[in-house]
Structure 1
């Protein structure tokens, strides 16, 4: 076990574990992408996701410590200054995957829990696919079928690369070089559009509108899910505002935006321009239990790498460990 994890576990143990009293913030914002009992090839090689049983177990745990609220309730809680009573949780999902309608929504409706799904307009109606999902599909085909690896070696420049090296290279392909993924797919006869047509991994516009009528929130998540660290400031603002314009046009949540991947390194200038145009907006990162110099930029807790019962105590312990060093506030430059 890494030394950092050992220290976090010790702090968690001696601080008494998770409780309403020692959880350091008044709110908790869990982050998921999807929930499924099925193998999803477009996600299989990217990150783990919860089964239905695991997700329900997470909800049981979270309900011990938090009141789940809807978007309006969360805004009121943030703006009222009234922090008495049980702490609140806002459940969030990213990327607009179709399981949210078919799997997640029925579970949440049965339990009376609200969630916001942050979507990328470029993928609505199966128009395109997140470049990372394309990478996962490529790796799945390479590992499960007989593929002429020499074609990929030539395109990648790894002339003597073994299969695992090629797959690692594909998985590391960045947003700015995403066209390479289409070249790899053409070389091994993988049709992304055919996969979209047959599997429909994303929610379409009619389904998003249905979810809205059923009481769920739909927020913005950039136009096509880039790494903000790879973009210029103008490009960051463009993809942000275009996604916000989309959700506003369709009467979804025009005051909710979640950064794709992370907001790590996003500049002070970006936030100043963002909130100048959208003063009522709340934005969301993925840095766990932290606060931000910009009060309307809130951090979420990724929940898919372990159970909620393990993640929350460790996040709390990590916050307490950093507190004496004043490392829990994100300062923008």
Structure 2
């Protein structure tokens, strides 16, 4: 509702108006013209036509740059604000669909990946939730008594079933494996028939083509569910993987969100990794109390890049009037 209302402000603060920061960091996960059951219920991914339109819109306002330039110049003034295009999760569509578009347009991107899923060895728990919901959808949300009991359903409506499955957290992810048995859904069989993630060979090919591969945690947890020690361990394992494979090892993007991550986490992480330049959250156009943690704009909310960035810019201006544009950390 907030986004719908603020869209009305776009005509008063146009897309071409001065951008409040010297940089912008768009975030995508997947671009595809196909129906992808493991993503459809959890990511509102764009098709190739929508993605190319986004790139064309952003190119008018921003100068796309590569990671090596961005990390040294993100806080400097430029004739046009700079943009670094980012993708998350290391999905195969990045290599097969996105790269041909970026090569043709001469735009760089960096992909933040989870080593636990490289080579399609495992599947992120949210993708499992999507597969389960797709199965329920195909059955018109008529679920068995076993599933009703397991999910503690009281209404058996589409909304309740969807809400219950989507609320299963990282620490509860084993519930999805149980649900798959009740639903006669075999995750391993699905993975064997559908390549979800890039392999290590794919990642090397992406790197050799001049694009970035960087850390996104080991296995995509919600950080606010983890202890400080678990947060640091999960992060460090992913950074070590990047070092071992000669990928980008001086950047880290939080999975999901950096909500409730403490200042002490950042202090410990940067102290232990002297070459680490920046980390990334997803709070849009926002200034972080920890200055080396920058924020990206999620681009998969059903809006064009022009609408999404205009919304974030308007929201920033409103919060700036209320002195609420700095993300505070405990």
Q: Using the alignment, how far apart are the partners of 1:291 and 1:273 within structure 2?
A: 21
Partners of 1:163 and 1:234 in 2: how far apart? 38
Give the structure 2 partner of residue 90 of structure 1. Answer: 84
CA contact (8 A) 2:95 2:206 kept: yes
The CA deviation at 1:75 is 1.5
Q: Distance in 2 between matches of 1:269 and 1:312?
A: 31
Q: Do 1:11 and 1:321's aligned partners in 2 also have CA atoms closer than 8 Å? A: no
Counterpart residue number, 1:115:
109
- The CA distance in 1 between the partners of 2:159 and 2:57, in whole Å, is 38
Q: Is the Cα–Cα contact under 8 Å of residues 22 and 76 in structure 2 kept in the other structure?
A: no
Kept in 2, the 8 Å contact 1:152–1:166? The answer is: no
Distance 1:3 1:273, change over 3 A: closer
Maintained 8 Å contact 2:221/2:255: yes
SS in 2 for 1:251: coil
Q: Does 1:135 align with 2:133?
A: no
Stretches of structure 1 that go unaligned for 5 or more consecutive residues are: none
- Comparing 273-282 and 127-136, the one that deviates more: 273-282
Matched, 1:271 2:269: no
Q: Does 1:29 align with 2:47?
A: no
Query: Quick check: 2:3–2:311 contact (8 Å CA) kept in 1?
Result: no
2:312 equivalent to 1:312:
no
CA contact (8 A) 1:22 1:316 kept: no
Q: Which residue of 2 aligns with 1:216?
A: 211
Contact kept, 8 Å, 2:10 with 2:314, in 1: the verdict is yes
Deviation at 1:170, TM superposition (A): 1.0
CA-CA distance at 1:279 after TM superposition: 3.4
Contact 1:149 1:163 in 2 (8 A): no
Give the TM-score, by structure 1 length.
Answer: 0.94
Over aligned residue pairs, what C-alpha RMSD do you find? 1.7
| Deviations, residues 233-270 of structure 1 (Å, cap 9, x unaligned) | 11111111111111111110101110001111111111
Q: Which residue of 1 aligns with 2:298?
A: 302
Does residue 324 of structure 1 match 2:318? no
Q: In structure 2, what is the equivalent of residue 150 of structure 1?
A: 145
Aligned partners of 1:148 and 1:31: how far apart in 2?
35
The match for 1:241 is 236
Q: What SS does the corresponding residue of 1:219 show, helix, strand or coil?
A: strand
CA distance in 1, matches of 2:240, 2:296: 23
Q: Following the alignment from structure 2 to structure 1, what is the Cα–Cα distance between the partners of residues 244 and 237?
A: 10
- CA 1:170 to 1:3, structure 2 compared with 1: closer, same or farther past 3 Å? closer
- May I ask how many residue pairs the two structures share in their alignment? 327
Counterparts in 2 of 1:152-167, with a 5 A limit?
Answer: 152-158=147-153, 161-162=156-157, 164-167=159-162
CA distance in 2, matches of 1:87, 1:294: 21
Counterpart of 1:46 in structure 2 is 42
State how far apart, in whole Å, the 2-side matches of 1:185 and 1:9 are.
Answer: 40
* CA deviations over 1:84-130 (Å, ceiling 9, x no partner): 32211000000111000000000000111100000011111111111
What residue is the counterpart of 2:60 in the other structure?
64
In structure 2, runs of 5+ residues without a counterpart are none
Instruction: Report the Cα offset of residue 280 of structure 1.
Output: 3.4
Q: Distance in 2 between matches of 1:272 and 1:151?
A: 47
- The alignment partner of 1:42 has SS state of helix
Matched, 1:230 2:225: yes
Q: 1:182 to 1:3 in 2, by over 3 A?
A: closer
Corresponding position: 1:256 with 2:256:
no
Is the contact between residue 291 and residue 298 of structure 1 (CA under 8 Å) also seen in structure 2?
yes
